[in-house]
A and B are shown apart, each in its own frame.
Chain A
Amino acid sequence: MTDLKMESVSNAADRPVRRAGLGGLIERVGTHNFSLLMALAALIAIFGSLRPDVFFLLRNILNIGQAIAILGILATAQTIVIISGGLDISVGAMVGLSTVCIALAVGWTGSPTLSILFGVAVGAIAGLVNGLIITVGRINAVIATLGTMAVFRGVAFIISNGQSISIFDPAFRFIGDGKILGVPVTILVLVIVVVIFFVLMRYTVTGRNIYAIGGNPVVARLAGLNVRAYQIGIYTLSGATAGLAGMLLAARTGSGQPISGSEGLELEAITAAVLGGCALTGGKGTIIGGLLGVLIIGILDNGLILTSVPTFFQMVAKGVLLIAAVIIAEQQARRYG
Chain B
Amino acid sequence: MSQIDSTGRRGEAPRRNPGDRGESGGARAREAAPALAALGVSKRFGVVRALDDVTVAVRAGEVLALVGENGAGKSTLVRLFEGVYRPDQGTLAAGGVQHALRSPADAHALGIRVIHQEPDIIPDLSIAENLFLGDFRRIHGVFLDRADLARRTRSMLAEFGLENDLSPWTRAGDLSPAQRQLMEIMRALRRGLKVLALDEPTSSLTEDEAQRLFRVVRRLRDDGVGVIYISHRMREVRDLADRIAVLRDGRLVDERPTPKFPETEIVQAMVGRPIADLYERRARRPGEIALSVQGLTTKRVHDISFDVRSGEVVGLGGLMGAGRSELAEAIFGHDRALAGSVAVDGRPVRLRSPADAIAAGIGFAPEDRKSQALLLLRSVKDNISLAIPDLISRLNFVNDGDERRIAAALVDRLRIRTPSLDASVSNLSGGNQQKVVLGRWLARRPKVLILDEPTRGVDVGAKAEIYRLIAELAAEGIALLVISSEMPELLGLADRILVMAGGRVVAEMPREQASEERILSLAMADNLTKSTTAQ
Provide the bound-state CA to CA distance between A61 and B385, in Å.
43
* A215 to B, closest residue via Cβ: B375
**Interface check A226, CB cutoff 8 A:** yes
Known interface pairs A24-B424, A219-B374, A224-B354; A208-B382 also in contact (CB < 8 Å): yes
Q: Is the interface of B mostly helix, strand, loop or mixed?
A: mixed
With A24-B423, A209-B389 as known contacts, state yes or no: A219 contacts B355, CB within 8 Å. Answer: no
Q: Does A225 contact B (CB under 8 A)?
A: yes
Digitize A216-233: 1 where CB-to-B-CB distance is under 8 Å, 0 elsewhere.
101111111110000000
Tell me the nearest residue of chain B to A199, going by C-beta. B397
Binds A, one of B365-373, B408-416, B455-463: B365-373
Q: Provided the pairs A26-B422, A205-B393, A208-B398 are in contact, do residues A223 and B377 lie with their beta carbons within 8 angstroms?
A: no
Q: Does B75 contact A (CB under 8 A)?
A: no
Cβ contacts under 8 Å, A20 to chain B? 427
Contacts of A205 in B (CB 8 A): 389, 392-393, 396-398
* Interface of A: prevailing SS: helix
Check if B393 sits within 8 Å of A224, measured CB to CB: no
CB of A204 closer than 8 Å to a CB of B: yes
Residues of B within 8 A of A284 (CB): 377
CB nearest to B385 among chain A residues:
A208
Which of A204, A212, A215, A222 is close to B334, meaning CB atoms less than 8 Å apart? A222
Q: Does B194 contact A (CB under 8 A)?
A: no
Q: Is B29 an interface residue (CB 8 A)?
A: no
Contact A204:B397 (CB < 8 A) given known A224-B358, A283-B375: yes
Whether the pair A221, B353 counts as a contact (CB closer than 8 A) is yes
Note all chain B residues with C-beta closer than 8 A to A47. none
* A108 at the B interface (CB under 8 A): no
Query: Does A111 reach chain B (CB closer than 8 Å)?
Result: no
Q: Which of A284-328 contact B (CB under 8 A)?
A: 284
- Is B440 positioned at the interface, with any CB of A under 8 Å from its CB? yes
Residues A283 and B377 in contact, CB atoms below 8 Å apart? yes
In this complex, what residue of A is CB-closest to B334?
A222
Docked Cα-Cα span, A23 to B397, in Å, equals 27
Chain A interfacial residues counted at CB < 8 A: 26
The answer for the CA separation of A205 and B358 in the assembled complex, in Å, is 17
B186 sits at the interface (CB 8 A): no
Partner of A225, one of B355, B372, B423: B355
With a CB–CB cut-off of 8 A, which chain A residues contact B427? 20, 23-24
Q: Provide the bound-state CA to CA distance between A297 and B319, in Å.
A: 57
Chain A nearest CB: distance from B474 CB in Å?
23
The 8 A CB mask of B380-424 against A (1 = contact, 0 = none) is 001000110100110011100000000000000000000000111
Q: Tell me whether B371 and A218 are in contact (CB under 8 A).
A: yes
Contact A212 B375 (CB under 8 A): yes
The answer to whether B229 has its CB under 8 Å from any CB of chain A is no
* B332 interface residue (CB < 8 Å to A): yes
Contact check, A218 vs B372: say whether CB atoms are below 8 A apart. Answer: yes
A53 CA to B527 CA, complexed, in Å = 86
Answer whether residue B376 sits at the interface, using C-beta atoms and an 8 A cutoff.
yes
Query: Shortest distance in angstroms between A229's beta carbon and chain B's nearest beta carbon?
Result: 10
* With A206-B396, A208-B389 as contacts: A221 and B334 at CB distance below 8 Å: yes
Q: What residues of B have a CB within 8 angstroms of the CB of A24 in the complex?
A: 422-424, 427
In the assembly, what is the distance between CA of A205 and CA of B398, in Å?
Answer: 6
When distances are taken between beta carbons in the complex, the residues of chain A under 8 Å from B382 are: 208, 211-212
In the complex, the answer to whether B422 meets A219 with C-beta atoms within 8 Å is: no
Q: B386–A223 contact, CB under 8 A?
A: yes
Q: Is A9 an interface residue (CB 8 A)?
A: no
Cβ contact within 8 Å between A219 and B396:
no
User: Which listed residue (A25, A218, A220, A224) contacts B377, Cβ 8 A?
Assistant: A25
B16 located at the interface, meaning its Cβ lies under 8 Å from any Cβ of chain A in the complex: no
Least CB distance, B214 to chain A, in whole angstroms: 38
Q: CB-CB < 8 A to A283: which residues of B?
A: 375, 377-378
Q: Are B354 and A215 in contact (CB under 8 A)?
A: no
A204–B353 Cα distance when bound, in Å, is: 23
- A-B pair count, CB < 8 Å, reads 85
Task: Please pick, from A23, A224, A226, the residue contacting B387 in the complex, using a CB distance under 8 A.
Answer: A224
Q: Which residues of A contact B334 (CB under 8 A)?
A: 221-222
A215 touching B378, Cβ below 8 Å: yes
Please give the distance in Å from A110's CB to the nearest CB on chain B.
Answer: 38
Smallest CB gap from B420: residue in A: A24
The distance in angstroms between the C-alpha atoms of A212 and B359, with both chains bound, is: 19
The minimal Cβ–Cβ distance linking A201 to chain B, given in whole angstroms, is 11
Q: Is the CB of B373 within 8 A of A219?
A: yes
In the complex, which residue of chain A has the Cβ closest to the Cβ of B359?
Answer: A224
- What is the chain B residue whose CB lies nearest that of A225? B355
B378 contact set on A, CB distance < 8 A: 25, 211-212, 215, 283
- Residues from chain A with a CB closer than 8 A to the CB of B467 are none
Report A281 CB to chain B, min CB distance, Å: 10
Say whether B364 faces chain A, with CB atoms less than 8 Å apart.
Answer: yes
A-facing mask of B98-132, CB < 8 A → 1, else 0? Answer: 00000000000000000000000000000000000
* Contacting pair A25 B398 (CB below 8 A): no
Q: A44-83 CB contact bits vs B (8 Å, 1 = yes)?
A: 0000000000000000000000000000000000000000
The answer to whether A224 and B355 have CB atoms under 8 Å apart is yes
B7 within 8 A of A: no
In-complex Cβ contact of A222 among B373, B376, B392 (8 A):
B373
Chain A residue nearest to B395 (CB atoms) is A204
Which chain B positions have C-beta within 8 A of A226?
Answer: 353, 355
- How far apart sit A203 and B399, CA to CA, in the bound complex (Å)? 8
Q: Is the CB of B422 within 8 A of A25?
A: yes
- B359, chain A: closest CB distance, angstroms: 8
Contact assessment for B396 and A223 in the assembled complex, using a CB-CB cutoff below 8 Å: no
Interface residue? B379 (CB, 8 A)? yes
**Contact, CB under 8 Å: B396 / A204:** yes
Most chain A CB neighbours (cut-off 10 Å) among B371, B372, B378, B379: B378
Residues of chain A with a CB closer than 8 A to B372's CB: 218-219, 222
Is there contact, CB below 8 Å, between B364 and A222? yes
A25-B422, A205-B396 as given contacts; A219 in contact with B364, CB under 8 Å: no
Known: A222-B334, A223-B440. A216 touches B375 (CB 8 A): yes
Which residues of chain A are near B422, meaning CB under 8 Å?
A: 24-26
- Contacting pair B377 A204 (CB below 8 A): no
**A238 → chain B, closest Cβ, in Å?**
20
In the complex, which residues of chain A have a beta carbon less than 8 angstroms from the beta carbon of B377?
Answer: 25, 211, 215, 283-284
Tell me how far the C-beta of A282 lies from the nearest C-beta in chain B, rounded to whole angstroms. 9
Give chain A residues whose Cβ lies under 8 Å from the Cβ of B376. 215-216
B136 vs chain A, min Cβ distance (A): 34
Please, which residues of chain A bring their CB within 8 A of the CB of B389?
Answer: 205, 208-209
For window 319-378 of B, CB contacts with A under 8 Å fall at 332, 334, 353-355, 358-359, 364, 366, 371-378
Which residue of B has the minimal Cβ distance to A206? B396
Return the chain A residue nearest B422 by Cβ.
A26
Q: Which residue of B lies closest to A227 (CB)?
A: B353
| A20 nearest in chain B by CB position | B427
Name, among A211, A216, A219, A222, the residue most crowded by chain B CB atoms within 10 Å (CB to CB). Answer: A222
Q: Which residue of A lies closest to B364 (CB)?
A: A222
22 contacts between A and B (CB under 8 A): A23-B424, A24-B424, A24-B427, A205-B397, A206-B396, A208-B386, A208-B398, A209-B389, A215-B377, A216-B371, A216-B376, A218-B371, A219-B371, A220-B375, A222-B366, A222-B372, A223-B358, A224-B353, A225-B355, A226-B353, A226-B355, A283-B377
> Residues on B close to A: CB < 8 A?
332, 334, 353-355, 358-359, 364, 366, 371-379, 382, 386-387, 389, 392-393, 396-398, 422-424, 427, 440
Q: A204-B398, A223-B440 known; 17 other A-B pairs, CB under 8 Å?
A: A24-B423, A24-B424, A25-B377, A25-B422, A25-B424, A208-B398, A211-B375, A216-B371, A216-B374, A216-B376, A219-B373, A221-B334, A222-B364, A222-B372, A224-B353, A224-B387, A283-B378
3 closest pairs, A vs B, by CB?
A224-B358, A224-B355, A215-B375
